[in-house]
Structure 1
Amino acid sequence: MVPAEVVAAAVRAARSLGKDVADVPTRVIAQEAGISRSTLLRRIGGARRALDDAVRATGIDPGGQRPVRERAVEAGARLISADGLADMTLEAVAARAECSVHSLYAVFGGRDELLQAIFEQYSPILDAEAIFNGPHEDLPDTVRKVYRMLADALSREPRVMPAMFAEAFARPTAPALNSLARHFIPRLLAAVGGWLAEEVAAGRLRPMPVPVLVQQLVGPLFMHFLTRPTLSAVPGIDLPDPDQVCEHFAEAFLRAAALPPAGH
């Protein structure tokens, strides 16, 4: 076991140099601890990894690899994709990300906040906000852009979005999902819903409640891409490629919801 005073010396030396602990030479750490380098190596068992692990156990990332936040978000996403939302515990994420649970609490505050960070990165929310918070193209082009964005989010690995929806269908009242819904649905409605409301006000879409329009827009595409991996494995079913699927659903939405230009 690495002595606490050696860990403290390593942290002090790193802060003094403005470096990660993993990047501080053992000679400098030994000087900070007031001991020889050979004594330091003896106290950490001859392995630098033991010192890094001891620093990590205090809730401090020793460095030498990507930041804890990046590793944890990726690790959590892969756990959700492989095993489902329920199995994404902080302990499992810490083991996969090679950090401590203390580090996760220090970076995120808790599991709900980690889930929000994963959803922020692997859902299309940021892409949707980028599309709708800027200048819009005409209605057909924007619909097609939305479908391509959603198709990419639902198809790419790790498959976070399909796993989230599977959890929502199985356990719609799960606390973690309710937390995500409170955080992201207002943003989604502000982005997509705001655009749809503008199109209704301009007379380009039928005057329907915005939540219903959102469901009509995304529902069929979501169902296709959530079931596509299963259907692809069924003999005799020949699915069109994703670009063709997006085009088919875009045309269907426009026929169902779009109004003809004035005078037609």
Structure 2
Amino acid sequence: MSSSTSPGPEVEVPAELVQAAVRAADQAGRQIADVPVVAIAAEAGISRSTLLRRLGGSRRALDEAARSAGIDPGGRPVKERALAAAAELISETGIGLATLDAIASRANCSVDSLFTIYGTRDELLAAVFERYSPIFDIEVVLAADRAEHADFPTTVRHVYRQLAHAFSREPRVTPALIAESLARPGSPAIRSVVRHNAPRLFGSIGRWLTEEIDAGRIRDLPIPLLLHQFAGPLSFHLMFRQVSAAAAEHHDTIPIDLPDLDQACDLFAETFLRAVAVEPNPQKQT
């Protein structure tokens, strides 16, 4: 015999309980799935045990009833929703307008929840960049090329293509962050991002460049300068492509005939290799 507390399709959740869940969610500034059962019970004017009994022993039936009524109960943790909401806002409006109030509104949670999880807005923005920055993807590229014993020029081209992909994909967090760093390099948000991500950046790309220096393949230059030489020109080009495309779309200027993105990556890679290689690029020798 099945347990009487096991939820099943035969459980019919009264419409007033769904409405109580909606009201409780609105009051808490959360999605239904994130509202405690005790809060829903209080809104319905019954005890927690009575609510669970009417739901067949589990709140799962309540969430399903909400879906059947055309209401998304949610279910993703507030932390995940906040990261996604912040990334979308940064991509659409820039870092400056991605306030905690705006993020909480889009994530359907309370500002207090954001403070509880992240502490400050700057910490939240640092977490957003860690999630959506190209650093992780570049680490994957470096690891794969190292395993396949790819030569330095090949890896440079692979990393450049990954950077180009990071600039183009939605949400466009990386371009927004670079724009903010150029406009307000001393802002608390930028300082927080640098504090959280600089060690990882130097630990991945910096280690790769150091290995190439030790192997005698590139010039023994300070790693920060090598990083600037490596990423700076391509990053500026990628941002310029976006600005040019947006201007042309609004008929503000004559479209500029830019090279194909893959071709541009190859050209910037060749320029970087010519600048730092100890020996000329063998692929360019005649």
**Aligned partners of 1:129, 1:93: CA distance in 2, in Å?**
29
**Aligned partners of 2:237, 2:119: CA distance in 1, in Å?**
36
Asked whether the 8 Å contact 2:167–2:175 carries over to 1, the reply is yes
1:197 to 175, 199, 210: 210
For residues 10-40 of structure 1, give each alpha carbon's deviation from its aligned partner in whole angstroms, at most 9, with x where no partner exists: xxxxxxx9x9xxxxx896xxxxxxxxx79xx
User: Structure 1's 47 and 260: CA in aligned 2 closer, same or farther, altered over 3 A?
Assistant: same
User: Structure 1's 54 and 221: CA in aligned 2 closer, same or farther, altered over 3 A?
Assistant: same
Structure 1 segments unaligned to the other structure (5+ residues): 1-16, 20-24, 28-36
**TM-score normalized by the length of structure 1:** 0.77
Counterparts of 1:73-88 in structure 2 under 5 Å? Answer: 73-88=83-98
Asked whether the 8 Å contact 1:80–1:87 carries over to 2, the reply is yes
Return the offset for 1:67.
2.3
2:24 to 34, 48, 51: 51
Counterparts of 1:18-97 in structure 2 under 5 Å? Answer: 41=16, 46-56=19-29, 61-62=34-35, 64-65=73-74, 66-97=76-107
In the alignment, does 2:275 pair up with 1:256?
yes
One-letter amino acid matched to 2:96: A
**Aligned partners of 1:118, 1:195: CA distance in 2, in Å?**
25
One-letter amino acid matched to 1:98: N
**Aligned partners of 2:161, 2:226: CA distance in 1, in Å?**
18
SS of the residue 2:267 aligns to: helix
Return the offset for 1:57.
6.2
**Aligned partners of 1:113, 1:26: CA distance in 2, in Å?**
44
For residues 189-221 of structure 1, give each alpha carbon's deviation from its aligned partner in whole angstroms, at most 9, with x where no partner exists: 111111101101101001211111111111110
Counterparts of 1:103-182 in structure 2 under 5 Å? Answer: 103-132=113-142, 136=146, 137-182=150-195
Which residue does 2:59 correspond to in 1?
A: none
In the alignment, does 2:254 pair up with 1:235?
yes
**Aligned partners of 1:253, 1:146: CA distance in 2, in Å?**
12
Aligned length: 228
User: Structure 1's 57 and 195: CA in aligned 2 closer, same or farther, altered over 3 A?
Assistant: closer
Return the offset for 1:177.
0.6
Which deviates more from structure 2 when the two are superposed, residues 103-112 or residues 244-253? Answer: 103-112
Asked whether the 8 Å contact 2:29–2:108 carries over to 1, the reply is no
**Aligned partners of 2:30, 2:224: CA distance in 1, in Å?**
47
Asked whether the 8 Å contact 1:112–1:179 carries over to 2, the reply is yes
Structure 2 segments unaligned to the other structure (5+ residues): 36-62, 64-72
**Aligned partners of 1:45, 1:223: CA distance in 2, in Å?**
52
For residues 170-193 of structure 1, give each alpha carbon's deviation from its aligned partner in whole angstroms, at most 9, with x where no partner exists: 111101111111111121011111
Q: Root-mean-square deviation (CA), in Å?
A: 2.9
Which residue does 2:109 correspond to in 1?
A: 99
Which residue does 1:31 correspond to in 2?
A: none
**Aligned partners of 1:249, 1:97: CA distance in 2, in Å?**
39
**Aligned partners of 1:195, 1:129: CA distance in 2, in Å?**
10
**TM-score normalized by the length of structure 2:** 0.71
Which residue does 1:33 correspond to in 2?
A: none
SS of the residue 1:87 aligns to: coil
User: Structure 1's 57 and 253: CA in aligned 2 closer, same or farther, altered over 3 A?
Assistant: closer
